[in-house]
Amino acid sequence: MAFIRVPDTVRASLVYLWSGQTVVNTFNFTKAGGYSASDMEALGDAIISANNTDFMPYVSNELSFQEVNVLDLDSATGPSVTRNGGLPNIGDVVEPSVPNNAAMVITRRTDLRGRSYRGRVYLPGMTRGSLADSVIWGTTRMGQMAAAYNAIWAAGTVLGWTHTVVSYQEDGVARAEGVATEVTAITVRQNVDDMSRRLAGRGT
CA distance 65 to 179: 29
The domain locations on the chain are: 9-198
Single-letter amino acid code for the residue at 89: N
pLDDT score recorded for residue 2: 81
Report in angstroms the alpha-carbon separations of 8 from 165, 167, 185.
13, 14, 21
Nearby residues of 155 by Cβ (< 8 Å), 6 or more positions away: 43, 46, 47, 49, 50
Per-residue pLDDT of the chain (204 residues), as tens digits, is 588 899 999 999 999 999 889 999 999 999 999 999 999 999 999 999 999 999 999 999 999 999 999 999 999 999 999 999 999 999 999 999 999 999 999 999 999 998 888 999 999 999 999 999 999 999 999 999 999 999 999 999 999 999 999 998 776 777 888 899 999 999 999 999 998 878 766 655
pLDDT at residue number 114 = 86
Give the dihedral of Cα atoms 28, 31, 35, 40; nearest 10 deg: -30
Q: Please name the amino acid found at residue 180.
A: A
Residues 6+ apart with CB under 8 A from 37: 79, 81
C-alpha span between 170 and 12 (Å, rounded): 23
- DSSP string computed for 118-186: EEEEEE---BGGGBSSSSBB-HHHHHHHHHHHHHHHHHHHHTT-EEEEEEEEETTEEEEEEEEEE--EE
d(CA 49, CA 32): 24
At residue 182, the pLDDT reads 98
- Give Dmax over CA atoms of the chain in angstroms: 48
Q: Rounded distance, CA 197 to CA 123, Å?
A: 14
Cβ contact 61:96 at 8 Å: no
Work out the angle between the directed axes of helices 139-158 and 37-54 (0-180°, nearest 10): 160
Give 143's contacts (C-beta < 8 A, 6+ positions apart).
none
pTM for the full predicted model = 0.94
How confident is the model at residue 168, as a pLDDT? 83
Q: Dihedral through CA 107, CA 113, CA 115, CA 117, nearest 10?
A: -70
